[in-house]
Amino acid sequence: MRKIMLLLGFVLVSMVSKAQENGIGQDFDPNYVHTVFFWMKDPANEVANNKFEVSLRKFLDSSKYAKTQFIGRPPKATRDVVDDSFTYSLVLSFESAEAQENYQKEAAHLVFIEESQELWDKVVVYDAMGIHE
């Protein structure tokens, strides 16, 4: 049993180290998280999806404020409590509410909205501030 626990510990440390090497999780700031869900007008349209993804990545690469930059698509829900109705999700973290407000006004964000708003039917945003001890 001890050997198995040591092996599992080694695997976990290796996975975390590899994730950090790839830049995953390094910039997450627990002060303010901005989660956005997009419902595309035609979710099966790969040309439109590609246009959206290119515009979104261009925007995020230019953002002066967004730290964590996670873009995702929903897996098929396997439980009733999981909502898989959206087409894309975006999770960003910020050092403060003020930084998130500045992000809303920055030119790169406004260009993204202008380039992509015709592609989506609905956008829902959930913002949260971290609980600090």
CATH of the domain at 118: 3.30.70.100
Judge whether 43 and 53 are in contact, CB under 8 Å.
no
Q: pTM to 2 decimals?
A: 0.76
CA distances from 53 to 1, 39, 57, 73 (A): 46, 13, 6, 11
Q: Which two tokens stand for residue 52?
A: 């959206």
- Please give the residue range of the domain that contains residue 116: 31-129
Are residues 108 and 67 located together in one domain of the fold? yes
Are residues 55 and 84 located together in one domain of the fold? yes
User: pLDDT truncated to tens, each residue of the chain (133 aa)?
Assistant: 444 433 333 333 333 334 444 444 457 778 899 999 999 999 999 999 999 999 999 999 999 998 888 999 999 888 989 899 999 999 999 999 999 999 999 999 999 999 999 999 999 999 999 887 6
